[in-house]
Amino acid sequence: MRWPFSAEHDGAPSGIDRAGFALAKHLPPGRNRCYSPLSAALALRMLLPGLRGETAQQVQRLFGVSPSLGPSEAPFAETDRVLRTLLSERSLRIANGLWTSENMTLNAEYAALLKTQFGVHAMQIQGDPVPIVNEWVSECTDGQITRLLDHVDPLWNLLLTSAFHYKGGWSSPFSERLTRSQFFQTVEGSREVQMMNDRNELTVAQLDTGLAVQLPLEDNFVFLALLPKEMVDPWPWLLDGGGALIRAALTQGYGRKTILAIPKFSVGDQIDLMEPLRQAGARQLFRDGDFSGIGRFAMKPVVDDIVQSTTFRIDERGVEASAVTGVSLGSASGEKPIQITLDRPFAYVLLHRPTRANLMIGTCDDPSLIPSA
């Protein structure tokens, strides 16, 4: 018996998926990667109405929208319909934020559009926005993510954030009595992990390069596990075809009696999206971009940071996931601070600047062995 996921998933990917996967394929290699196409795409979608000219066209292409079409055309109507549908789900909370500094004046039309379409209430901040934004992030993700920003450009103009928190139980929970230690094969060898076990009828898709199994969650969500046929890096395998593998897994499944073993795990990730966005083609955001639809700026604005934080947990009860993506508009003449953390052995020198006489030189190899003052 075939169990199709949904007829509407048989066609082309949504604009949100297109934009999210456009960045995903340019992410650097990483173990236990955890990335949210939805959060990244929503942050860009909110930025887009304030862009003009080639800057806007480069971002539109990420969504699969022709540069000749405006943001009110049908492709974006479909993308915004996906957002409205997601907002109606009780187990998923989506929140968007916009903060401005005294270095700019927000365009009233842009602010009104974000309020109407994305539920954004703009707030002007005097001084350092980092603690305020991080507190908002923690609240929106139910404490799963407590930090998005470490610092901002002193000449920052605007911060745009998109966050979500999802928590849902399995339609058929796993029994904790059946969870036991089993071996998991990694490229370095076998690792003993806690494995959940169940016997049930599940939707399984036999694909050309692997198999996929759907684990239904409450409401309208599903956890999809995809297993390659061979021992390969699953990240590029998953991304091949811009999400085509996922769409095939959702539409080609059949109900099968299944004996399932799957590990419990909890992961988190912090991803710099600056270079992936450049490689995806939106280069003008970082140099000579036209942000005139957003407002008036004291100095020429540029995107000086775009970062995403994520968490994901799966256990016998269900799935919990959080993500937040932040876009920072700084000033073109502002220099991005370099963060320096002396958390490994370093050398030091005490010297007299006028004569360059070295009063002391030394190394700090293990500060735990140095008596406190």
CA–CA dist 2, 355 (Å, integer): 83
pLDDT in tens, 139-152: 999 999 999 998 88
> Other CB atoms closer than 10 Å to residue 179's CB: what's the count?
18
Pairing of strands 295-297, 104-106: antiparallel
Chain segment 14-42, per-residue pLDDT in tens: 788 889 999 999 998 788 889 999 999 99
- Each domain of the chain, given as residue ranges in start order, spans 7-168+268-331, 176-265
pLDDT over 90, % of the chain: 47
Q: What is the DSSP string of 106-118?
A: E-HHHHHHHHHHH
Q: Please give the angle made by the CA atoms of 232, 236 and 241, to the nearest 5 degrees.
A: 125
Q: Is 179 helix (H, G, I), strand (E, B) or coil?
A: coil
Contact by Cβ (8 Å): 78, 15? yes
Average pLDDT, the chain: 85
Rounded to two decimals, the pTM is 0.85
Degrees (nearest 5) of the Cα angle 23, 155, 339? 65
Helix 15-24 × helix 37-47 angle, to 10°: 110
Cα gap 303→332, rounded to integer Å: 9
Report, in angstroms and rounded to the nearest whole number, the Rg of the chain calculated over CA atoms: 24
Contact present, 37 and 325 (Cβ < 8 Å): no
Average pLDDT of span 53-79: 77
Q: Which pair of tokens denotes residue 272? A: 């710099």
Running DSSP on this structure, what letter comes out for residue 29? P
Binning pLDDT at 50, 70 and 90, where does residue 373 land? Answer: very low
pLDDT in tens, 218-240: 888 998 988 888 888 888 888 88
Give the pLDDT confidence of 78-118 residue by residue, as tens digits.
778 888 888 888 999 999 999 999 999 999 999 999 999 89
Task: Give one word for 119, left, alpha or beta, with left for phi > 0 and alpha for psi -120 to 50.
Answer: left
d(CA 327, CA 47): 8
CATH of domain 7-168+268-331: 3.30.497.10
How far apart are alpha carbons 269 and 37 in whole angstroms? 13
Q: Point out the least confidently predicted range of 20-34, 173-187, 356-370.
A: 356-370
Diameter of the chain by CA atoms? 85
Q: For 323-352, what is each residue's pLDDT tens digit?
A: 999 999 998 765 555 656 676 776 666 665
The answer to which of 75-89, 282-296, 357-371 has the lowest mean pLDDT is 357-371
pLDDT score of 337: 56
DSSP assignment letter at 309? E
Among residues 300, 221, 281, which one has the least CA distance to residue 44? 281
Residues of the chain with pLDDT > 70: what percent? 83
Do the strands 265-272 and 301-314 form a parallel or antiparallel pair, or are they unpaired?
A: antiparallel
- The CA distance from 105 to 111, in Å, is 11
Strand (E) positions, 56-140? 92-100, 104-106, 123-124
Same fold flag, 7-168+268-331 and 176-265: no
Q: Tokens 């049908």 sit at which residue?
A: 74
Strand 254-263 and strand 189-207: the pairing is: antiparallel
339 CB-side CA count, 13 A: 7
Per-residue exposure over 6-41, b if at least 16 CB sit within 10 Å of its own CB, e if not? eeeeeeebbbbbbbbbbbbeebeeeeebbbbbbbbb
Residues 206, 196: Cα–Cα separation, whole Å? 22
d(CA 100, CA 158): 4
Element (H, E) at 44: helix 37-47
| Res. 9 pLDDT band, cuts 50 70 90 | very low
Alpha-carbon distance values, 145 to 167, 238, 244 (Å) = 14, 25, 30
CATH class of 176-265: mainly beta
Mean pLDDT of 213-220: 87
- 45: nearest Cα among 96, 108, 92: 96
